[in-house]
Amino acid sequence: MGFTLFWIPATILAALLQTARNLTQRSLTELIGVIGATQVRFLFGLPFALLFLVLVCVASERLPPAISLTTLSVTTWGAVTQIAATALMLAAMRERSFAVTTAYTKTEPVQVAVFGALLLGDALSLWKFIAIVVATAGVVVVSWKPGEKLSRAGMRPAVLGIGAGAFFALSAIGYRGAIQMLPEGGFVMRATTILALGLALQTTILMVYMLAANRPALVSILRNWRPSIVAGLLGAAASQFWFIGFSLTTAANVRTLGLLEVPLAQIASRRIFSEGTSRRELLGMAMIVGGVGLLLMLAI
């Protein structure tokens, strides 16, 4: 009972750490490319996740819960979709500002509702439909520039960012399901176990790919190990708190509060990258946050 609302500070910490991690990964993208920066999150995050798991086991005097084949499958689903989401997000950040790309990816909660309606048969009320329209319109407002003709190149960053949001939504559903499937352990133990398993799967998948198809990027990662370690630590810590949130409440609740990342990205964009944001882009981001917030207020 005492930990019922612990998902709130955990999610706030996750949003803060993820913003810092995204900033670090964006800088690395220019040095080692999209795939390399994506692997940094997993390869250098895995040792920290394993350390977290050891500390939790020592503190609780218990071993991690057993992993069934079903749990492994669902965790793999979460891991693979998160790889795709991260790669798409970093690709979008190369073409649009940090703050605007973050806003694109934060259409994720809306897409959770759409996936639920299409795949699970969840009811979509009039107010939920209105919320989706408002959030989607916000994405259009952010991505469209006055006088800019619609073209494939102009729409590319929006498609990449929204695609990242879709895969992040699928990933959140997968990880939440995997945590719930574990047969025993407290919420911290279950969250940390799935985090370590997910990062191990992601590191292995990308390592095999890079050894086969992109060895220069792997060499670049090792050469840039100092900033990579920072990105790995921030990524593992952010995921630890996201997963703790998933272990205590629905992914919808966690991702709604996680929208704090949008104004955080705006502040970071101005202070660190000196990226200006127009009133139109601010209006669009406000519409995204408002639409997503309305949608999930109705769902809670």
Does 255 reside within a domain? Answer: yes
CB count in 10 Å sphere of residue 151: 8
Does 7 reside within a domain? Answer: no
CA 148 to CA 168: how far, in whole Å? 29
pLDDT of residue 282: 79
CA distances for 45 relative to 39, 195, 234, 244, angstroms:
9, 10, 8, 17
Instruction: Report angle CA 168, 173, 176 to the nearest 5 degrees.
Output: 120
Does 205 reside within a domain? Answer: yes
Does 96 reside within a domain? Answer: yes
Number of domains forming the structure of the chain = 1
Domain range holding 115?
12-299
Does 52 reside within a domain? Answer: yes
CA 163 to CA 204: how far, in whole Å? 23
> Could you write out the three-class secondary structure of the chain?
CCCCCCHHHHHHHHHHHHHHHHHHHHHHHHHHHHHHHHHHHHHCCHHHHHHHHHHHHHHHCCCCCCCCHHHHHHHHHHHHHHHHHHHHHHHHHCCCCHHHHHHHHCCHHHHHHHHHHHHCCCCCCHHHHHHHHHHHHHHHHHHCCCCCCCCHHHHHHHHHHHHHHHHHHHHHHHHHHHHHHCCCCCHHHHHHHHHHHHHHHHHHHHHHHHHHHCHHHHHHHHHCHHHHHHHHHHHHHHHHHHHHHHHHCCHHHHHHHHHHHHHHHHHHHHHCCCCCCCHHHHHHHHHHHHHHHHHHHHHC
Largest CA distance in the chain: 63
Spell out the per-residue pLDDT of the chain, length 300, in tens. Answer: 456 778 888 988 998 888 888 777 767 777 777 777 778 888 899 999 999 999 999 999 899 999 999 999 999 999 999 889 888 887 887 776 666 676 777 777 777 777 767 765 666 678 877 887 888 778 767 766 666 555 666 577 778 888 898 898 889 888 988 998 998 889 999 999 999 999 999 999 989 988 988 888 888 888 888 878 888 899 899 999 999 998 888 777 788 777 777 766 666 666 665 656 678 777 887 888 788 778 767 766
Query: What letter represents residue 274's amino acid?
Result: S
pLDDT of residue 263: 67
Does 180 reside within a domain? Answer: yes
Please write down the long-range contacts of 180-183, taking CB distance under 8 Å and 24 or more positions apart: 181/68, 181/70, 181/71, 181/74, 182/65, 182/67, 182/71, 183/65, 183/66, 183/68
Query: What letter represents residue 114's amino acid?
Result: V
Q: Are 23 and 272 in contact (CB under 8 A)?
A: yes
Does 4 reside within a domain? Answer: no
Does 6 reside within a domain? Answer: no
CA 192 to CA 172: how far, in whole Å? 15
